[in-house]
Chain A
Amino acid sequence: NAGVTQTPKFRVLKTGQSMTLLCAQDMNHEYMYWYRQDPGMGLRLIHYSVGEGTTAKGEVPDGYNVSRLKKQNFLLGLESAAPSQTSVYFCASSYTERGGYTFGSGTRLTVV
Chain B
Amino acid sequence: DQQVKQNSPSLSVQEGRISILNCDYTNSMFDYFLWYKKYPAEGPTFLISISSIKDKNEDGRFTVFLNKSAKHLSLHIVPSQPGDSAVYFCAAPGFRGAQKLVFGQGTRLTINP
Which residues of A line the B interface, CB within 8 A?
Answer: 4, 33, 35, 40-45, 48, 58-59, 90, 92, 96-106
Asked if B95 and A100 sit within 8 Å, CB to CB, the answer is no
A-B contact count (CB 8 A): 63
Taken residue by residue from 32 to 61, chain B's Cβ proximity to chain A (1 for < 8 Å, 0 otherwise) reads as 101010000111111001000000000000
Which residues of B line the A interface, CB within 8 A?
Answer: 4, 6, 9, 32, 34, 36, 41-46, 49, 89, 91, 93, 95, 98-106
Asked if A97 and B93 sit within 8 Å, CB to CB, the answer is yes
* Cβ distance B18 to chain A, nearest Cβ, rounded Å: 24
Asked if B93 and A103 sit within 8 Å, CB to CB, the answer is no
* Cβ distance A57 to chain B, nearest Cβ, rounded Å: 10
Contacts of B91 in A (CB 8 A): 43
Asked if A98 and B32 sit within 8 Å, CB to CB, the answer is yes
Asked if B43 and A104 sit within 8 Å, CB to CB, the answer is yes
List 21 contacting pairs A-B, 8 Å CB cutoff, sorted by A. A40-B9, A42-B4, A42-B103, A42-B104, A43-B44, A43-B106, A58-B95, A58-B100, A90-B43, A90-B44, A96-B99, A97-B100, A98-B32, A99-B32, A99-B49, A99-B101, A101-B36, A101-B46, A103-B44, A105-B43, A106-B43
* Cβ distance A98 to chain B, nearest Cβ, rounded Å: 4
Other than A43-B44, A98-B93, A105-B43, give 12 A-B pairs with Cβ distance below 8 A.
A41-B105, A43-B106, A45-B101, A90-B44, A98-B32, A99-B32, A99-B34, A100-B46, A101-B46, A102-B43, A103-B44, A103-B45
Asked if A33 and B100 sit within 8 Å, CB to CB, the answer is yes
